[in-house]
Amino acid sequence: MTWILVSDIFGRTKALERFAADLPGSVEIVDLYNSELMNFDCEVEAYSYFTSKVGLDKYVEKLSERIGASFGHVSLVGFSIGASAIWRLSDHQV
């Protein structure tokens, strides 16, 4: 089984990486910032950066491309805006 973890507005974090390490099978993190650890000081800073630099539409597109490149069964786990991106794709066949 392949797991794809879809990050929140904070992107890849040490906590998300620890969670990924505890899952069985193959695990990949899809995040907003190309795996760069952003180290935001607060949610307001992370949200401002997300809305000005990425946006939900771009995140959905990135996730759609990643899912489209998958083979076999994939389980998606989304956090906050990551769950919103999954939801936006839920009525599309990718």
Per residue in 13-54, pLDDT tens?
A: 999 999 999 999 999 999 999 999 999 999 999 999 999 999
Locate the domains of the chain by residue range: 2-89
Mean of the per-residue pLDDT values of the chain:
93
Cβ atoms within 10 Å of 17's Cβ, excluding its own: 14
For the record, the structure tokens of 10 come out as 């904070």
d(CA 70, CA 30): 13
Confidence class of residue 87 from pLDDT cuts 50, 70 and 90? very high
d(CA 44, CA 67): 29
Q: Is the pLDDT of residue 1 over 90?
A: no
Say what the pTM is: 0.91
Q: Are strands 26-30 and 2-6 parallel, antiparallel or unpaired?
A: parallel
Q: Is the pLDDT of residue 93 over 60?
A: no
> Rounded to the nearest 5°, which phi and psi values hold at 78?
-115, 145
